[in-house]
Every structure is written in structure tokens, then in C-alpha cells.
């Protein structure tokens, strides 16, 4: 069990950060850069320790996966932020309308103050430090609550952040769901939550009591549409990679596939071949992550059992013959939670796996007669965090993009839009609101303060009362010039 921080200690840290932010409302660019460089040093010097902690929390998750999905993303974000921070931080000049000239105006980008981050367990380093990095870049103080489901990683983050930052700059509050509820109730200047839609609603309600603005990065059922003219083998390999990265425990993982009716068998064979190429075996494969805990594994198995009871056909993928046997020892019970991938055919709306985000290596495959049917199905559901389209016809692609709404899109691939530093990452509707990454993240954690600097000579006084003929002449002139 994770040792939780006492509630009074959390409140004290928040108060220290709050007071520090009010004492220094504008944070110099040099200090922002120095804080980011400290965060980079933390990653550079302690990535192996953090990767080992993630491995211990999952039971089986390759350090190579953590390197790609957590550290590589963070390093790229850090380099991009440092490269552009000076430009992002400058006041933005804006054009002044004729009626207000010769005044000048600009928008000053100021830190909000104190930003709270409630992070999930699936990518416990990246999804803790990425929003924190954007908030620090904008000059804010940060209080991070990492997930209780990854206690080793959370403890390492707490120790390392305390080593590199003063508590009034950046601190970590460890604890269970009650700690997360406490953090959500604090009067932050902004609060970031990444997790399920159900918990996101609770976080939004708690934040609303303090009028705290939020960024909610939630999930949903992200669809893949396969067009009739796509390269099926290439599409299926990319779908398999996107689905099985971290064993499907990814908020933007493909949740289900829509493909032309009659292609189901070809898809299943191609998927089996793609999985065999990526993961020749499952149990004991260090490249294939385990399900985070027995409760989540039981949930996935219950989903499958219910689907089968209601008439769905399951295809449980098998390891390649001759693959290495299960090792005699494992890290914790991780090997026992390495769930074989499953394709589901004949899924219906009554099934749990079509009502909830799956968050595991289970992929329903649905056939459609016409593109209109696929689009109508997507639009009948809550708006997803991601959408994936595979095909060669740009007109069809543009039709799909124009007729659907999602947080983000990758065309002829999966997941990769989230790795583009110039693309905002965020949801819409039930999949969340607000976005970060790159300049969008910087602005999310800034207050854009409007400033007008009046000239000694200006026309404004000509519109002061008492109203009369002069007022009418000036107003008529301004209407003609508008």
C-alpha cells in the first residue's frame, strides 16, 4: 500500500505555492528555463530508476516501452518547449481599431499561479510530467497527484521532484482516491485531470465549487475506419501496434474497427499475422505489457464472457508455434496478467464492450455496408478522443473528417498525432475538454491579459457627454470609417 501524505501537509504545500505565486505574479524567462532544465536533468539522470519502478508496478512492462512511450515523448516536448519558450512568452502586439488610435495594445501572457495535476497509471511518468512541464514553462507552480495504482513510480516521482525542486515550485502528493479527491477540491488556478470519463465528471464537480478551470483528458471509444481501397496489410499492422501498445491500456488506443462487410475474415487473418510479427508469444514476453492489476483483468474477462453469452464470436489469438515457453519465474504476478489479444465479431450495442472504453487487448470488429453507416454509427456515440482512417481516396478521407468530430485524428496510422508537438492534444464532449502540448499547452496555463496603453492625444474624449451636435458628427464619422 502507498503511504499517503497527510491532508494537512497537502494543504500546507498548496498554501505555500499559492502564496509564492502571488508574491511573484510574473516569473522571469530565465527562471522558467532553469526549472525546465532541472526537469530535463531529472529525466536524464534517473530514467532507469523510473523505468524499473514502472516495471515493478505493471509486473511486466519493458523498459524499452517506457523509453518510447514516456521518456522519448517527454524529451521531445522539453526540447520543443525550450526552443520556442522565448517567443511564446513575449507580449503579443495586436492591431488597434481606428476609433481607439493612437493608443496601442498588446496581450501579456502571465502565469495563472498554481496548477494541479491528477495523473493516471497507464503512462505514469509521461502523463504526470508532460502537463507539469507545460505549466512550469508558463511560470506556474505545480502540485502533482500521481496514481495510487503505480505506487513504485509515484514514490520515485515524489522523491525525485523533491530532490530537484523546492516544494513551493513543484511538489508531489502521494495517496489513494481520497487524496485525489482532496487535491481536486483545492482552489487551484487550473486543474488537469487525465483518466476515465466517470471520474472526470467528479473532478469537474469538485473543481466547480472553487470556479477552478479544468483541462480534462478523458477517454472514450476511438474508432478505426477501414476504407475499401486501403492497403489492408499495412493498415492492420498499424492498428495492431496501436491497439497492443501497453496491452491496449492507452487512452487513444483503437477501441473498435469499422470495415466493409465481408472483409472480416481477411482482417482477422491479417491481424493474426501482424500480432505474430509484433509479439510472437504473450506470457513471459518482455515486450508485451501485463494488465495493471487483477481487478482490471477480471473486468476484461467479464466483458468477453458477457459478449459471448449474447452471441458474439471470439477469436483468441495464439502464440506462434515454437515460441519460448513461459519462464519459471516472473516479476510479481505480471506474467499471469499478460492477456492474449482477442478479436470480437458480432458485437452489439447491448454488450458492455461496446458501451465502455475497453482499455485492454480486446478489439471488436464491425462490418458496414456504406460509408454513411460507419459515420452514422460514430455520430450516434459520445465524441471520441481519437479517430483513425485508413485508405487512399482523399475525397473519402475529407468526407469522414468533415462529418465526424473527435479530439484528434491520425490518417493511415494510429496514435502518432499525439506525438506531434505542434498539434494540441485534447478531447471533445465526453472525451474531455481543453488541450495541451506545444504552444497550446503553454497558453492553456497562461492568463492572456489585455493591455491598452492610451496616448496623450486621443479621440475618446470627443464621445464624452454632454451629448450634442459634436457627438453626432464624430459618431457619424466613425461609422463611415468603420
217 is catalytic: yes
Q: In angstroms, what CA-CA distances link 442 with 283, 383, 448?
A: 42, 25, 11
Q: In angstroms, what CA-CA distances link 64 with 150, 178, 245, 417?
A: 18, 33, 12, 21
pLDDT in 10s for each residue of the chain, 482 residues: 456 789 999 999 999 999 999 999 999 999 999 999 999 999 999 999 999 999 999 999 999 999 999 999 999 999 999 999 999 999 999 999 887 888 999 999 999 999 999 999 999 999 999 999 999 999 999 999 999 999 999 999 999 999 999 999 999 999 999 999 999 999 999 999 999 999 999 999 999 999 999 999 998 999 999 999 999 999 999 999 999 999 999 999 999 999 999 999 999 999 999 999 999 999 989 999 999 999 999 999 999 999 999 999 999 999 998 877 766 555 556 888 999 999 999 999 999 999 999 999 999 999 999 999 999 999 999 999 999 999 999 999 999 999 999 999 999 999 999 999 999 999 999 999 999 999 999 999 999 999 999 988 877 788 889 998 888 988 888 888 77
For residue 310, what are the β-bridge partners? none
251 is catalytic: yes
Tell me the C-alpha distance between 113 and 85, whole Å. Answer: 18
DSSP 369-423: SSHHHHHHHHHTSPPPSEEEEE-S-HHHHHHHHHH---SEEEESSSSGGGG-TTS
Per the structure block, which three cell numbers stand in for 340?
A: 492474449
User: What are the residue ranges spanned by the domains of the chain?
Assistant: 7-218+435-447, 223-421
Q: Which one is catalytic: 148, 168, 169, 217?
A: 217
The architecture that CATH gives domain 223-421 is: 3-Layer(aba) Sandwich (3.40)
The angle, 0 to 180 degrees and rounded to 10, between the axes of the packed helices 264-278 and 232-244 is: 60
* Class in CATH terms, 7-218+435-447: alpha beta
pTM, full prediction:
0.94
**Chain mean position to CA 35:** 23
Q: What are phi and psi of 115, to 5 degrees?
A: -110, 130
Edge-to-edge strand list for the sheet holding 141-145? 170-172, 141-145, 114-118, 190-194, 214-217, 432-433
Tell me the C-alpha distance between 339 and 79, whole Å. Answer: 36
Pairing of strands 170-172, 141-145: parallel
Q: Which one is catalytic: 148, 251, 264, 357?
A: 251
Q: Is the peptide bond before 466 cis (omega within 30 degrees of 0)?
A: yes
Residue 247: predicted pLDDT: 97
* Residue the block writes with cell 502523463: 127
Amino acid at each position: 500500500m502507498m503511504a499517503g501524505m497527510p491532508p494537512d501537509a497537502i494543504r500546507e504545500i498548496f498554501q505555500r505555492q499559492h502564496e509564492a505565486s502571488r508574491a511573484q505574479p510574473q516569473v522571469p524567462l530565465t527562471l522558467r528555463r532553469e526549472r525546465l532544465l532541472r526537469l530535463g536533468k531529472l529525466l536524464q539522470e534517473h530514467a532507469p530508476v523510473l523505468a524499473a519502478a514502472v516495471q515493478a508496478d505493471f509486473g511486466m512492462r519493458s523498459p524499452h516501452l517506457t523509453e518510447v512511450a514516456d521518456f522519448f515523448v517527454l524529451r521531445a516536448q522539453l526540447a520543443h518547449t525550450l526552443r520556442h519558450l522565448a517567443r511564446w512568452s513575449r507580449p503579443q502586439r495586436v492591431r488597434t481599431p481606428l476609433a481607439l488610435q493612437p493608443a496601442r495594445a498588446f496581450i501579456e501572457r502571465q502565469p495563472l499561479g498554481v496548477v494541479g495535476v491528477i495523473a493516471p497509471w497507464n503512462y505514469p511518468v509521461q502523463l504526470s510530467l508532460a502537463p507539469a512541464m507545460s505549466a512550469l514553462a508558463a511560470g506556474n507552480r505545480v502540485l502533482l497527484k500521481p496514481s495510487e495504482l503505480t505506487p513504485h513510480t509515484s514514490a520515485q516521482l515524489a522523491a525525485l521532484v523533491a530532490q530537484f525542486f523546492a516544494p513551493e515550485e513543484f511538489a508531489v502528493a502521494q495517496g489513494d482516491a481520497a487524496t485525489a479527491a482532496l487535491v481536486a477540491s483545492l482552489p487551484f488556478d487550473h486543474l488537469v485531470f487525465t483518466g476515465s470519463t466517470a471520474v472526470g465528471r467528479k473532478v469537474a464537480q469538485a473543481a466547480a465549487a472553487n470556479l477552478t478551470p479544468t483541462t480534462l483528458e478523458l477517454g472514450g471509444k476511438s474508432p478505426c475506419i477501414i476504407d475499401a481501397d486501403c492497403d489492408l496489410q499495412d493498415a492492420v499492422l498499424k492498428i495492431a501496434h496501436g491497439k497492443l501498445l501497453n496491452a491496449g491500456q492507452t487512452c487513444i488506443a483503437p477501441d473498435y474497427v469499422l470495415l466493409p462487410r465481408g472483409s472480416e475474415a481477411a482482417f482477422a487473418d491479417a491481424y493474426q499475422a501482424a500480432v505474430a510479427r509484433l509479439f510472437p508469444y504473450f506470457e513471459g514476453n518482455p515486450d508485451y505489457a501485463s494488465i495493471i492489476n487483477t481487478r482490471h483483468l477480471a473486468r476484461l474477462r467479464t466483458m468477453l464472457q458477457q459478449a459471448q453469452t449474447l452471441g458474439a464470436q471470439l477469436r483468441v489469438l495464439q502464440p506462434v508455434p515454437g515460441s519460448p515457453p513461459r519462464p519459471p519465474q516472473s516479476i510479481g504476478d505480471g506474467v499471469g496478467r499478460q492477456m492474449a489479444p482477442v478479436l470480437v465479431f458480432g458485437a452489439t450495442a447491448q454488450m458492455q464492450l461496446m458501451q465502455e472504453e475497453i482499455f485492454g487487448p480486446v478489439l471488436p470488429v464491425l462490418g458496414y455496408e456504406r460509408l454513411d453507416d460507419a459515420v452514422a454509427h460514430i455520430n450516434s456515440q459520445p465524441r471520441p478522443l481519437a479517430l483513425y482512417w485508413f485508405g487512399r481516396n482523399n475525397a473519402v478521407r475529407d468526407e469522414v473528417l468533415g462529418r465526424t468530430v473527435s479530439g484528434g485524428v491520425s490518417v493511415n496510422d494510429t496514435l502518432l498525432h499525439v506525438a506531434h508537438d505542434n498539434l494540441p492534444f485534447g478531447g471533445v464532449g465526453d472525451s474531455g475538454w481543453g488541450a495541451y502540448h506545444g504552444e497550446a499547452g503553454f497558453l492553456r496555463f497562461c492568463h492572456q491579459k489585455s493591455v491598452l496603453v492610451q496616448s496623450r492625444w486621443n479621440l475618446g474624449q470627443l464621445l464624452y457627454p454632454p451629448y450634442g451636435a459634436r457627438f453626432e458628427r464624430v459618431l457619424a464619422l466613425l461609422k463611415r470609417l468603420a
